[in-house]
Structure 1
Amino acid sequence: MKILVLYYSMYGHIHKMAEAIAEGIAEVPGAEGVLRRVPETLPTDVLAKMGATEAQKTFAHIPVCTVDELTGYAGIVFGTPTRFGNMCGQMRQFLDATGSIWMNGGLVGKVGSVFTSSATQHGGQESTVLTFHTFLLHQGMIITGLPYAFAGQMRMDEITGGSPYGASTICGGKGERFPSDNELAAARHQGKYMGGIAAKLNA
């Protein structure tokens, strides 16, 4: 059973979380998390001005996904950075091209889940995941989040991302902060939880 981990990452934070999601999926017997990126829409010179060129080299080996691939998986975990409390434009553009899949019901009954990142502690992580869920519902997917069975999201001893809606990380104003151990553990838990439900549905 293969589960797609589909994401966009500019500076590598979401990429790190995606790797942890895939690790969690792999803990489910017979399950495999497959990493794919959505296409980049920004010109290379713009990415260079934004200081993203070097960071993107670290995950350039991850294949770019095509819309036709989506229906070939038992479930999909979507990862996107927050842009003003919503998903990034690269992810939005990719999802907007899935009309034929929606028309044919290609994702109906498949499991879906979302994780995210934001620059600040209250920068729209929850609203990004919740507004992303509307896409999953329109496609007929079964939504899973990050249950409180992962006790790390109740921690008060450190700043951390994560909510019942999905794993998340806080990047800092200049992207200087990368996912903490607790945030990566949340991502692994979410991947394992979602993978376990997908396995039951596909049994």
Structure 2
Amino acid sequence: MKIQVVFYSMYGHIHRMAQAVAQGVASVEGAEASLWRVPELVPDKALEASGAKAAQAAFADVPIIAPAQLAEADAIIFGTPTRFGNMAAQMRNFLDQTGKLWLAGSLIGKVGSVFASSATQHGGQESTILSFHTTLLHQGMIIVGLPYSEQRQMTISEISGGSPYGASTIAGPDGSRLPSENELAMARFQGRHVAEITAALTRGRSAMV
């Protein structure tokens, strides 16, 4: 059972969340997690000036995925930072190249899930995930979120991301806040939850053959 964790990260927050998601996937017997990133669109000069180039060096060894490779997975968990309440342009550009997969129905019946980050508590992490779901539905995917059995999303004793739509982290206005243990735990839960549902679907389909 192959589960891809496909992300875009500018300063490393989503990369850290992606690692936690992959750990959750790997905790389920028979589940194989693989980390992938989508291509960067920002020119190197601009990345260097913003400090993003140095931050991205930490995950430069994560392979870049081609749209066609999505068809190889049983489930795909996407991660993106928020840009004005929507996914980052890098992720949108990548998804816009999956037309051939849509025409062939290649992603129909596969599990899809989303996690995100935003600069502030109310900076669009929920709308980013919800708007991402529209693309997954057009591809015929089965959407899995973060159920309330993961009670860490109800934490009010500290600032924390997380909602029924998916795990998330809050980076802070200057990007200095790294994912908290509460947020990483929700990411691990989401990875495990997706893997368990994918395993159940896989068993059910095998029984029908």
- TM-score grouping bracket, smaller chain normalisation: over 0.9
Residue 51 of structure 1 and its aligned partner are, at CA, apart by 1.2
Residue 159 of structure 1 corresponds to 159
Q: Secondary structure at the match of 1:113?
A: strand
Which residue identity does 2:60 align to in structure 1? A
1:2 CA displacement: 1.1
Following the alignment from structure 1 to structure 2, what is the Cα–Cα distance between the partners of residues 128 and 33?
A: 24
Give the SS at the match of 2:34. strand
| d(CA) in 2 for partners of 1:71, 1:128 | 23
Q: Does 1:6 align with 2:6?
A: yes
Which segments of 5 or more consecutive residues in structure 2 lack a partner in the other structure? 204-209
Equivalent position SS for 1:159: coil
Gaps of 5+ in 1: none
**TM-score, normalised relative to structure 2:** 0.96
The match for 2:207 is none
Residues 54-203 of structure 1: matches in 2 within 5 Å? 54-203=54-203
What do the CA deviations read for 1:42-93 (whole angstroms, capped 9, x no partner)? 1100101111111100000000000110000001000000000000000000
Separation of aligned partners in 2, 1:166 and 1:199: 19
Structure 1 runs, 4 residues or longer, greater than 6 Å off: none
Q: How many residues align?
A: 203
Aligned-pair identity (%): 61
Note if 1:53 corresponds to 2:53.
Answer: yes
What TM-score comes out, normalization by structure 1 length?
0.99
SS of 1:112's equivalent? strand
Deviations 1:22-57 (A, max 9, x none): 000011110011000000111100101111111100
**Partner SS state of residue 3, structure 1:** strand
Tell me, in whole angstroms, the C-alpha distance in 1 between the residues paired with 2:145 and 2:100.
26
